[in-house]
A and B are shown apart, each in its own frame.
Chain A
Amino acid sequence: MEKKTPITGLLSENIAHMEELFHECADIKKKQFQLGKNMDVPCYLTFIEVSVDTGTSALGELLKYLGSIDKQELYRALQNNALDISDATYFDTIEDAAAGLLAGEAILFVDGFDRAVKIPDDGYPNMGISEADSEKVIRGSNEGFCDSVKQNAALIRKRIRSPKVKVKQVKKGVRSNTLIYLVYMEDLVYPDLVREIERRMEGFEIDGVLDSGVLEQLTEEKWYSPFPQFQTTERPDRAAMSLLEGRVVLLSDNSPVGLILPTDYNSFIRTSDDYYNRWEIASFARLLRYVASFFAMTLPGLYLAVTNFHTQILPTMLLFSFADARSGVPFPAVIEVLIMEISFELLREAGVRLPGAMGNTIGIVGGLIIGQAAVEANLVSPIVVIVISFTALCSFAIPNEEFATAFRLLKFLFIGLCAWLGYFGMLFGLLAVLIHLAHLKSFGIPYLMPYVGADVNDFEDERDFLWRQPIRKLTRRPVYARREKRTKLTFPDRTAAGAKRR
């Protein structure tokens, strides 16, 4: 373990250490001045520019206060932590003080006092709370996570005002020292789950964690799987909902994306407003998303299998219109499909990278103008344009971007298999994907839960899978929560009436 340098009562020594650490750091302000009523106490204040306001902030008020009292009273206030601010932290070593400074706070060294005082302030600048870009809902809060892990944790706590919400702090990144929060409900979560994610976090060392995506990839079990084993969210309400299910939310500083664990296929298909809307429409939308997830992966392949191998499936008139549409197209159907799919992926990538308004323009230019021109130039048939568009719609209907990406990638595998082996290729691919999914787990939870192993939670999870039962029927938490704490909804009046009848 690295040896730490203790802070001494000699201010010049401490300044020398700090200057050594932060030389050629123009963004770090280092000020020496005198405190006390008689201006007789030398001190050294260091902070990162922009992150600290010395005017009307807590720091400004503190400095005013310390400048208004005499030397003895100043030392007494420092010793007794009576600085009139709630979150002053004392550091005993230079390294800890430096870490505090890099966390965006102001550090005060006072001559004759052998500790440094961290004075909280605005912290690093961030974008602030804004609307979540993905996971849009029609009903419910549109608040989204921001770049600050502390604000994100506060957004969760705002929704669950319970002391049972625990936040464990971990720092990852040898150089970035990124703050990671593990948020969970103490009484609902399996302690093993928290220990397991902690163990996995300890299992690697990296120079910098700049986004939660890095953590995700370093802690997942099956690194080769296209399917995400962490659920990502930009929505505090979704994170809060997960905590109430007994899951753990992992927040990383500088990342507006929280990670939820464990997860399963069904969780990726669910949206927040599934629970805010009436059960009938929620169930219908969910069923639609399941169908979408299937077709997002298989539709172009299915088109190739049917038109190239199993024409007997289609009604004759439909088949003739397909054949008419393809007449004059110079490429084989598989190349035609691949051209359209790759064009679509290019448009999508271009749309994402370009600034907002231009991104939309790309969509219109690509979708309408290029598409129509390609059909008129006989490069592709209109049927293929319809197939690819429908596939794209299906992939957009999947609520989670990372999850949808898995289907977008697998779609190319299915195109290849179906072009090669027809419907046998389709069955082959489906079974291979199914074997993979059956094998996949997220922190011990089978990925296909609750379609498999629903008996573990007495089939209760089957009330909220392909369709969502009325909310009054969802009285139990899913399998992630501790068995003895799974009741989440009760009707006291009804229970009392039942007891009375008995």
Chain B
Amino acid sequence: MFSGNGKISGRQMFRLLTFDLLGFATLVIPATLAGFCGRDGIFCIAAGILAGLIFLKLMEGSVKQMTGTYPEYLEELLGKFAGRLIQACYVVYLVLLAGYTAYLFSGAVVKSLLREESYWLVLVLILLLAWYGLASGIEGRARIYELLFWLVLIPLFLMLASALDEIDADYWAPVFMSPPKDVLAGSYYVFVCMSIVFLIPFVGEYAKRRESLVRAGRAALLFTGAVCAVLYLILLGIFGSNALAQMEFPAVTLMSTVKITGGFLKRADAFMFGIWFFTLYALLNGSIFYGEMMLGRLLGRPAERFMKKKGGQVLILVCVFAVAAIFYRNSPMAGLYEKFLWYAGVPFLVLVALLLAARRLFLRKKGGKRAGLLLLVLFAASGLSGCASAELEERNFPVEMAVRNTGDFTEAWLDVGQSGNRVIDYSHMKVIILEQEFVENAGKMEEFLAFLEEKSDVPRSTYVVVAKDAEKIMELGDGAGESVGTYLEDLFENVSEIKKTAYPTLGMLYQEQENRQETLWIPYVAEEDGKPAVTDYYIWKRGTPDGRVESGAALLSYFTQNELDNYYIKLDQNCTLRLFSPHNRISIEEDGKIAVEIVCSGELMYQQPGEGKSQEELEQMAEAYMNAVAEETLKGGARADVTNSFKKLGGDRREWYRFYEKEPERFEEDMEIEYRADITWVNL
């Protein structure tokens, strides 16, 4: 009466296409693009979207001219043989696309949600769900995504908004550093992902108004492009280009990194995986749906009965399972498929669109049993796999871990829970205490970080500290009144004047292994009054250990980078300056000197105003103090840059950046730092 006509509206088409595009675009584009051209990837997204729009324009004529179905149109315009050949190619393309999506989808589920579950079980369940989804036809599919659209996107946008706070804009620059060839390759890669809009003519026969089809496609492309661009900038701003390029699913990793305000949820990565669950399902379901449609039309009348009895769906699903199984068993085959897409698949799509355009120029279509069967298979499948997870009370949740130089670090990994017969769950690890000797053993440290990153059981947000005797620090829990991990976490997050986002975490160490741009100041913990306390800092320079320094240098570095609220300078026995509310600026001058303009408020402590020095004199003294500390840190034993200028100023001076990128060892040697204070005094 009101529905059941097999037609969908413009809004439904837009949402359907957006979901088809969004999964691939947000899951695979960021890492691959960062690998191609790093910070310039954002331009590749723009170029890729533009290419997608041109592709859409090419297809517009076909969509407008079609009166029946797309297969009919192909035969009408190109002749029966060519039309059928193209249809056969489409079936192969759609089956491969569905197979690759199923492979990627199952892999992502296993990696992100069910690490100990069978890949095959997940794959079978996903395909069963896709098969159940086919029963609802195009209208049912359209309704699902019409409803899910904002339910999925609002949480995504909220998470992206939460991530804004953790962006380090210095990772965005410098740009225009990649060779044009890489930018072109990156742009083409984005276009390959966006080429899913080739499905538009397929939707033609189901559209209420054909004229709205291309409009919906264009809107979906632009919307996905915008989401992808914002996501890319956020990922780049948080992980840096090199680290981003090494990640498999950076968007999922981002969800585990973002700290959610309010503290009800510690991490939302599992919840947020729903975004990719629904979007990848959309593409999988869509590919199978159109593949079946195309196969039915291709086989024609003799196969009609077979197709009517859903034999076509089963055939396509078996093929999809086989393709996904091949990709899983033989990962080089998945790489080969990517090459196929690159060199043959997408060119084929473009070629068909071009062919149709040239030809035009020259010439001036149920559920109860299915649901029951799905439940039956689910029930049977539950016998294949037990509820493998351990009960809550059968697990240990270590919150701190000491890593020593003696023996194999994996022992620390196993000993940390002291679990006996319990399963160790590292998901609530708060602090890793690295023994100084261990940190300075570059090979072991690198191996350790690679091991943790590979296992990915420990949260990326785990704080990292260094200690002379890690075991001794672990024993200080009694004095602190709570576990050392919880004590140090509270110390960093609630007591310290350094912003909590500035403290080095495990994720930052992973990133610096790849980015090699930044100087991290790792808290050095020692016993003080029977409790653990930060006494010094340990420098982690461009992914390598660089020695211990006094707190003064680290605090100046945090203050210089606006990461410390209050910075104290003791001028003499009775005179201390408090500098606060910093809005400092770091720049590079013509001669290569790094200029730091300290713009903040200041007050004179422990001395009556007017009794001592003038504002100018105090500013000069502050400048001199900071210059001395910076100089000492730069040219002394540590040889560290308190301004983190290499990371921050690459965008300002590209040649300078390029030079030291090649010769990092000369950086601290060549550089000069000058502090200039512009203090607004509150009690003078």
Binding site for B on A (CB under 8 A): 190, 192-193, 196, 222-224, 307-316, 319-320, 322-323, 326-329, 332-334, 416-417, 419-424, 427-428, 431-432, 434-436, 438-439, 441, 443-446, 448, 451-453, 455-456, 479
Please, how many angstroms separate the alpha-carbon atoms of A416 and B375 in the complex?
Answer: 11
Q: Is the CB of A319 within 8 A of B428?
A: yes
Q: Kindly report which residue of chain A lies nearest to residue B483, judged by CB atoms.
A: A316
Min distance, Cβ B207 to any Cβ of chain A, angstroms: 13
Please, how many angstroms separate the alpha-carbon atoms of A420 and B391 in the complex?
Answer: 13
Query: Number of contact residues on B: which range applies?
Result: 35 or more
Q: Is the CB of A316 within 8 A of B425?
A: no
Tell me if B620 counts as interface (CB < 8 A to partner A).
no
Contacts A316-B397, A316-B428: A420 and B136 contacting too (C-beta < 8 A)? no
CB contacts (< 8 Å) of A327 on chain B: these are: 393
Q: Which of A316, A419, A455 has the most CB of B within 10 A?
A: A316
Of B51-59, B258-266, B354-362, the segment with at least 4 beta carbons within 8 Å of chain A is B258-266
Tell me if B628 counts as interface (CB < 8 A to partner A).
no
Q: Is the CB of B147 within 8 A of A451?
A: yes
Q: Is the CB of B425 within 8 A of A311?
A: yes
Of B167-175, B274-282, B324-332, the segment with at least 4 beta carbons within 8 Å of chain A is B274-282
Q: Kindly report which residue of chain A lies nearest to residue B397, judged by CB atoms.
A: A319
Min distance, Cβ A248 to any Cβ of chain B, angstroms: 12
Please, how many angstroms separate the alpha-carbon atoms of A311 and B132 in the complex?
Answer: 31
Q: Kindly report which residue of chain A lies nearest to residue B274, judged by CB atoms.
A: A427
Q: Is the CB of A313 within 8 A of B271?
A: yes
Please, how many angstroms separate the alpha-carbon atoms of A312 and B113 in the complex?
Answer: 11
Q: Is the CB of B143 within 8 A of A446?
A: yes
Min distance, Cβ A224 to any Cβ of chain B, angstroms: 4
Tell me if B144 counts as interface (CB < 8 A to partner A).
yes
Given contacts A435-B135, A441-B4, A479-B2, 20 further A-B contacts (CB under 8 A): A192-B1, A309-B114, A309-B389, A312-B266, A316-B397, A316-B428, A323-B395, A332-B387, A424-B114, A427-B277, A431-B133, A434-B147, A435-B133, A438-B140, A438-B143, A445-B2, A446-B139, A446-B143, A452-B146, A453-B3
Please, how many angstroms separate the alpha-carbon atoms of A220 and B602 in the complex?
Answer: 77
Min distance, Cβ B526 to any Cβ of chain A, angstroms: 25
Q: Is the CB of B382 within 8 A of A422?
A: no
Q: Is the CB of A222 within 8 A of B1?
A: no
CB contacts (< 8 Å) of B146 on chain A: these are: 451-453
Q: Is the CB of B271 within 8 A of A435?
A: no
| Interface SS, A side | helix
> Which residues of B266-322 are within 8 A (CB) of A?
266-271, 273-274, 277-278, 281
Q: Is the CB of A311 within 8 A of B428?
A: yes
Q: Is the CB of A456 within 8 A of B427?
A: no
| Interface SS, B side | helix
Tell me if B399 counts as interface (CB < 8 A to partner A).
yes
Q: Could you list 11 A-B pairs, sorted by A, with CB under 8 Å?
A: A223-B368, A309-B270, A309-B389, A313-B270, A316-B430, A320-B397, A323-B393, A421-B114, A422-B113, A422-B270, A438-B143
CB contacts (< 8 Å) of B122 on chain A: these are: 424
Please, how many angstroms separate the alpha-carbon atoms of A444 and B256 in the complex?
Answer: 44
Q: Which of B109, B144, B389, B425 has the most CB of A within 10 A?
A: B389
Tell me if B392 counts as interface (CB < 8 A to partner A).
yes
Please, how many angstroms separate the alpha-carbon atoms of A380 and B498 in the complex?
Answer: 44
Q: Is the CB of B459 within 8 A of A312?
A: yes
Min distance, Cβ A477 to any Cβ of chain B, angstroms: 14
Q: Kindly report which residue of chain A lies nearest to residue B367, judged by CB atoms.
A: A439
CB contacts (< 8 Å) of A315 on chain B: these are: 263-266
Please, how many angstroms separate the alpha-carbon atoms of A218 and B523 in the complex?
Answer: 73
Q: Is the CB of B265 within 8 A of A313?
A: yes
Q: Is the CB of B392 within 8 A of A307?
A: yes
CB contacts (< 8 Å) of A436 on chain B: these are: 367, 371
Tell me if B385 counts as interface (CB < 8 A to partner A).
yes
Q: Is the CB of A310 within 8 A of B132?
A: no
CB contacts (< 8 Å) of B561 on chain A: these are: none
Contacts A314-B265, A323-B393: A423 and B271 contacting too (C-beta < 8 A)? yes
Q: A192, A222, A320, A435: which contacts B132 (Cβ < 8 A)?
A: A435
Q: Is the CB of A312 within 8 A of B372?
A: no
Q: Is the CB of B3 within 8 A of A441?
A: yes
Please, how many angstroms separate the alpha-carbon atoms of A276 and B81 in the complex?
Answer: 67
Q: Kindly report which residue of chain A lies nearest to residue B428, judged by CB atoms.
A: A316
Q: Is the CB of B428 within 8 A of A446?
A: no
Please, how many angstroms separate the alpha-carbon atoms of A394 and B430 in the complex?
Answer: 35
Q: B109, B147, B274, B459: which contacts A452 (Cβ < 8 A)?
A: B147
Tell me if B638 counts as interface (CB < 8 A to partner A).
no
Q: Is the CB of A196 within 8 A of B1?
A: yes
